[in-house]
């Protein structure tokens, strides 16, 4: 498959490192000279841009955490005056103030480039018709992928988070070939379509670009089977600009990082020290080209590992494994550490479950309790209780065996767990 920008995506390792160093040096200097926030942070840590003589010197710089972005709300991290900012986005923080991100004209151009790369990597070509189902608005997903896909020359259908019936109508009438959105929404679209009698096998749709949240293997297989498409995954986050940080090529082993724009490190979440290559840790990103809001060593909280060796697709950019967990997703229940994805994998290993579930955590008489609510296949919902009880027992036994945790399993009616057009919420922590 063609590579969007071989000049950068296929650089030799030595040339990439040289480019990264030059860009890192100018990015740190730029932040120091133009962002009073970063000047204060670097002065406090007693490091100056001149101390960055090699890529390893990056470790001498302090981390940036989400609290820095919240504390500097709204414009404290900008390194350009507002008259030079041509776009603002913000992340959908559930508590407190959102994180605000500013872009200069050059930033928008670079963002479009990295989004074009991930779309092209996934297989989007100029003749495609692309249904954008991400929310347009302050969320970075809609606009970022919109411009990326448009740069490739494909036809963008900017329907956004509109009505599902309308998406289905356009899918048929416009001959849409590519879906862009969250995996949760793809499942929902399949569900609504199937109910309305749509036969996806007969529609031209062939490819899905999923991002914004993790996709489990089961979810991915289910989407592929129900929508009759090939699913791909891409990753990004608002703080460093939005989608376009990393994407999946046709080989599918890891996600290529656009490392000429984002310098990735993987560190031990507790010590902050780099982990040996190939071991799991927290992804830390430094922007190498952002003018309006350079970010140094951002703690993403996303857990991943570097993938060894060159990729058969021909790109030489470093790869990371798909992200399943965040450090701050981990629940501690009666002293047991549990990632929601572990529970998800167990649920999905049982015949007859669906991808719709919710983990409810409560504290009852001083003790934590975990309830797993899961929708089951409509065909299993009947007057006969025996198969349901058996299934319930099977799930709780597996959870007990794998996680050493007793949980309450509640099988709920098909359609009773809330559906979303954006990112789904899997955990309800009532403690
Ligand atoms: O979700 C940016 C984005 C939009 C990426 C569209 C891809 C496509 P935020 O709302 O700031 O930005 O959320 C960022 O979402 O730190 C991850 O925890 C999670 N995330 C994003 N993409 C993936 C993915 C956008 N492909 C946070 N796999 C990140 C797993 C993902 N998690």
What are the tens digits of pLDDT across the range 25-37?
Answer: 999 999 999 999 9
Q: What is the model's pLDDT at position 93?
A: 62
Q: Is pLDDT at 145 greater than 90 in this prediction?
A: yes
Residue 246 Cβ contacting ligand 1 at under 6 Å: no
pLDDT in tens, 234-245: 999 999 999 999
- Structure confidence at residue 381 as a pLDDT band (50, 70, 90): confident
Entry pTM: 0.96
Mean local confidence (pLDDT), 361-378: 92
Nearest CA to ligand 1 atom 16: 237
Q: What is the model's pLDDT at position 94?
A: 59
Q: What is the model's pLDDT at position 387?
A: 84
Q: How far is the CA of 142 from the centre of ligand 1 (A)?
A: 12
Q: How far is the CA of 23 from the centre of ligand 1 (A)?
A: 25
- Structure confidence at residue 271 as a pLDDT band (50, 70, 90): very high
- Structure confidence at residue 386 as a pLDDT band (50, 70, 90): confident
Ranges of each domain in the chain = 1-325, 330-429
Architecture of the domain spanning 330-429: 2-Layer Sandwich (3.30)
Nearest CA to ligand 1 atom 29: 237
Q: What is the model's pLDDT at position 385?
A: 83
- SS3 string, the chain, reads CCCCCHHHHCCCHHHHHHHHHHHHHHHHHHHHHHCHHHHHHHHHCCCCHHHCCCHHHHHHCCCECHHHHHHCCCCCCCCCCHHHCCEEEECCCCCCCCCEEEECHHHHHHHHHHHHHHHHHHCCCCCCEEEECCCCCCCHHHHHHHHHHHHHCCEEECCCCCCHHHHHHHHHHCCCCEEEECHHHHHHHHHHHHHCCCCHHHCCCCEEEEECCCCCHHHHHHHHHHHCCEEEEEEEEHHHCEEEEEECCCCCCCEEECCCCEEEEEECCCCCCECCCCCCEEEEEEECCCCCCCCCCEEEEEEECEECCCCCCCCCCCEECCCCEEHHHCEEECCEEECHHHHHHHHHCCCCEEEEEEEEEEEECCEEEEEEEEEECHHHCCCCCHHHHHHHHHHHHHHHHHHCCCCEEEEECCCCCCCCCCCCCCEEECC
Residue 233 Cβ contacting ligand 1 at under 6 Å: yes
pLDDT in tens, 281-293: 999 999 999 999 9
Residue 424 Cβ contacting ligand 1 at under 6 Å: no
Nearest CA to ligand 1 atom 9: 237
- Atom number in ligand 1 closest to CA 423: 1
Q: How far is the CA of 66 from the centre of ligand 1 (A)?
A: 14
Residue 209 Cβ contacting ligand 1 at under 6 Å: no
Give which of 367, 356, 368 is closest to 411, Cα–Cα.
356
Residue 214 Cβ contacting ligand 1 at under 6 Å: yes
**Which of 64, 208, 237 best tests ligand 1's pocket when mutated (most atoms within 8 Å of CB)?**
237
Mean local confidence (pLDDT), 252-271: 98
Q: How far is the CA of 71 from the centre of ligand 1 (A)?
A: 22
Residue 141 Cβ contacting ligand 1 at under 6 Å: yes
- Atom number in ligand 1 closest to CA 134: 6
The more confidently predicted of residues 38 and 387 is 38
Nearest CA to ligand 1 atom 6: 141
Measured CA to CA, the distance from residue 180 to residue 241 in angstroms comes to: 18
Residue 300 Cβ contacting ligand 1 at under 6 Å: yes
3.50.30.40, 3.40.50.12780, 3.20.20.140, 3.30.70.20: which CATH number matches 1-325?
Answer: 3.40.50.12780
Residue 302 Cβ contacting ligand 1 at under 6 Å: yes
Nearest CA to ligand 1 atom 15: 212
Residue 213 Cβ contacting ligand 1 at under 6 Å: yes
pLDDT in tens, 177-236: 999 999 999 999 999 999 999 999 999 999 999 999 999 898 999 999 999 999 999 999
Residue 304 Cβ contacting ligand 1 at under 6 Å: no
pLDDT in tens, 95-144: 678 899 999 999 999 999 999 999 999 999 999 999 999 999 999 999 99
pLDDT in tens, 3-17: 999 999 999 999 999
Residue 238 Cβ contacting ligand 1 at under 6 Å: yes
pLDDT in tens, 294-347: 999 999 999 999 999 899 999 999 999 999 999 999 999 999 999 999 999 999
**Which of 211, 240, 256, 319 best tests ligand 1's pocket when mutated (most atoms within 8 Å of CB)?**
211
């Amino acid at each position: 498959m063609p590579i969007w920008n071989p000049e950068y995506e296929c650089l030799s390792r030595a040339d990439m490192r040289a480019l990264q160093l030059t860009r890192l040096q100018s990015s740190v200097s730029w932040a120091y000279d133009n962002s009073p926030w970063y000047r204060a942070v670097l002065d406090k840590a007693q490091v100056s841009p001149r101390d960055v003589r090699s890529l390893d010197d990056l470790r001498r710089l302090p981390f940036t955490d989400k609290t820095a972005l919240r504390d500097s709300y709204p414009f404290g991290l900008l390194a350009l005056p507002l008259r030079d900012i041509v776009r603002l986005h913000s992340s959908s923080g559930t508590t407190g103030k959102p994180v605000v991100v500013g872009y200069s004209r050059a930033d928008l151009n670079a963002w479009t480039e990295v989004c074009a790369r991930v779309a092209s990597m996934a297989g989007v070509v100029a003749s495609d018709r692309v249904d954008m189902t991400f929310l347009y608005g302050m969320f970075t997903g809609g606009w970022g992928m919109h411009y990326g896909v448009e740069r490739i020359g494909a036809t963008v259908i900017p329907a956004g988070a509109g009505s599902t019936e309308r998406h289905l109508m356009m899918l048929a009438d416009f001959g849409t070939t590519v879906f862009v959105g969250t995996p949760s929404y793809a499942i929902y679209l399949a569900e609504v379509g199937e109910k309305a009698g749509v036969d996806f096998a007969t529609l031209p749709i062939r490819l899905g670009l999923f991002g914004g949240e993790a996709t489990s293997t089961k979810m991915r297989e289910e989407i592929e089977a129900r929508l009759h498409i090939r699913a791909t995954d891409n990753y990004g986050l608002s703080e460093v600009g939005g989608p376009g940080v990393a994407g999946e090529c046709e080989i599918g082993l890891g996600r290529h990082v656009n490392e000429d724009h984002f310098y990735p490190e993987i560190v031990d979440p507790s010590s902050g020290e780099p982990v040996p290559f190939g071991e799991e840790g927290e992804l830390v990103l430094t922007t190498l080209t952002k003018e309006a809001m350079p970010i140094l060593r951002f703690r993403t909280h996303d857990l991943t590992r570097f993938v060894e060796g060159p990729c058969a697709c021909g790109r030489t950019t470093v790869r990371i494994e798909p992200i399943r967990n965040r450090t701050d997703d981990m629940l501690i229940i009666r002293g047991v550490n549990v990632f929601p994805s572990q529970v998800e994998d167990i649920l999905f290993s049982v015949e007859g479950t669906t991808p719709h579930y919710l983990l409810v955590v409560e504290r009852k008489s001083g003790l934590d309790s975990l309830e797993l609510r899961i929708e089951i296949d409509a065909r299993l919902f009947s007057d006969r209780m025996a198969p349901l009880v058996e299934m319930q027992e099977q799930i709780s036994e597996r959870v007990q065996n794998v996680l050493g945790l007793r949980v309450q399993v509640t099988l709920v009616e098909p359609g009773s767990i809330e559906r979303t057009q954006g990112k789904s919420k899997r955990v309800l922590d009532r403690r």
